Structure 1
Amino acid sequence: MDSILLVEDEHALRMTLGDRLRKEGYLVDCAADGEEGFAKATQLPFDLIILDIMLPRRDGLDVCSGIRGSGVITPILMLTARGRTPDKVAGLKIGADDYVTKPFKVPELLARIEALLRRAPTRPSVPQAVYEFGRVRVDVRGTEVVRDGKVVSLSAREFQLLRFFLENQGTTLSREDLLTRVWGYSAATFTRTVDVHVASLRQKLEEDPRQPRFFLTVQGIGYKFKA
């Protein structure tokens, strides 16, 4: 199920459009201003971002530029006011993938969303809802991890990384792969965040974090999960 971040300050439009997108089968998170939108876009994984240009606290063009500057490559669909051609051009130049002019017809918006999602890298489908390895049980749908009968507290990003490992068991994954698929960053982004999160998963889920059995390091490349 694809996830969408809707950044729109008009309450009525945000609620109406959010409800319609959910009825179409999308997971929808909302932000009411530019600062909140930027924070969510750069800290949480989404398949698509719908971004209004006229926003309080931080305008949409600045948010779009900031998102791309942070290395996030998630497709961005801009919402622009009628007749504001300079905004459309500016948005496309700084990294937006498409735009829709207000007031818009919902079918047109849905068609553009579908087109952007088709062009974006697809996430792997979930072959099962529950995984077990060692003394660990992972309920994907319930977002719950249990070890030795006790619930293990994972951050949202740790759970997303764990899920990605489980869905790609036996596959060697480079740090660039993980940054792109789990964090939504550009592969060119330099960060140690992957190593930090893998170390945290080992600490919480491995019997001996110093000699991991499941979360394996592939020297010079990245990591592999092997149950």
Structure 2
Amino acid sequence: MRILIVEDEWEVASLIKIGLEEYDFEADIAGNAMEAQKQLAERDYDSVILDVNLPVINGFDLCRMIRNRFETLPILMLTAFGSTDSKVNGFEAGADDYLVKPFEFRELVARLRALNRRSNAATPAEVTVLKLADLEFNLHSKTVKRGNQKLTLTARELALLEFFMKNQGRALTRNEITEHVWDINFDTGTNLVDVYVNYLRKKIDRDFSLKLIHTISGIGYIMRASDD
């Protein structure tokens, strides 16, 4: 795997590069958004490690630029900003994973490998549309509608909805959701899953009498067509 490290602190970037090379990765360094865009245009990368606190163009904005140009390129944000709001901003910008500094290097490697497995995984061709009650999710076009109403969801909300709809009627823990929607466990203290479930509920449940996403106290969530 070839990784692009976007980090303006050269010492930090060099340590990450050396560490990755010890795990048989290849790594290049870009100190700002312009350098990153240039290197992405010149070489093929398997993943991008992206800091938030970059000069001129911050990591969130750069993430959006990368995602608009490279739809499937895995992006892992590696930053000292560890609040739930920062994580949400990262995922809304198009990041696939988010790791907070300081970090264990083995965890960084595990996350990169998980992102690579996910990006290389074949999508089952036999399933085109997921349905529950009057909710429909077209996996090919990434369009969602409930009844006659089209719903606009972000990429992360789509991933969460897909996992829910593929596991209809099954109780899902927060750990299961993070492992499948975000590839790996988050810190147990974060409420990121609850934040995104709340986002999703507002779009697919709020304006409809039949609720589809339900909370199971002490466990997590379940998706089913029920008034419970």
> What is the aligned length?
173
TM-score (norm 2): 0.52
Percent of residue pairs identical: 25
Whole-Å Cα distance in 2 between the matches of residues 31 and 65 of structure 1?
8
**1:15 paired residue among 25, 36, 41:** 41
Partner amino acid, structure 2, of 1:220: G
CA distance in 2 between partners of 1:225 and 1:123 (Å): 25
Aligned to 1:151: 150
Please give the residue correspondences for 1:45-194 in structure 2 after superposition, counting only pairs within 5 Å. 48-49=74-75, 64=78, 66=80, 74=97, 93=105, 96-97=108-109, 117=116, 126=124, 128-183=127-182, 186-194=185-193
Alpha-carbon deviation of 1:200?
Answer: 3.4
**SS across alignment from 1:198:** helix
Q: 1:10 to 1:184 in 2, by over 3 A?
A: same
1:215 to 1:142, Cα distance in 2 relative to 1, 3 A = same
Deviations 1:26-84 (A, max 9, x none): 7x78979963684349xx9x88558xxxxxxxxxxxx74538998999599xxxxxxxx
**Other-structure match for 1:205:** 204
Provide closer, same or farther for how the CA distance between residues 11 and 194 of structure 1 changes in structure 2, counting only shifts above 3 A: closer
Contact 1:14 1:30 in 2 (8 A): no
Answer whether contact 2:174 2:193 (CA < 8 A) is retained. Answer: yes
- CA deviation after TM superposition for structure 1 residue 135, in Å: 1.4
Verify the 8 A CA contact 1:218 1:224 in the aligned structure 2. Answer: yes
Q: Tell me how far 1:93 sits from its aligned partner.
A: 5.0
In the alignment, residue 66 of structure 1 is paired with which amino acid?
Answer: A
Q: Which runs of 5+ in 1 are unaligned?
A: 51-62, 77-90, 99-112
Structure 1 stretches of 4+ with a deviation exceeding 4 A read 4-8, 28-34, 46-50, 67-76, 91-96, 113-116, 122-127, 207-211
Q: Aligned with 2:42: secondary structure? A: helix
| 1:221 correspondence with 2:216 | no
Give me the whole-angstrom Cα distance separating, in 2, the residues matched to 1:65 and 1:32: 5
Question: Pairwise mapping of residues 32-47 of structure 1 onto structure 2 (< 5 A)?
Answer: 35=54, 38-39=59-60, 40=63
Would the aligned equivalents of 2:129 and 2:137 in 1 still touch at CA under 8 Å? yes
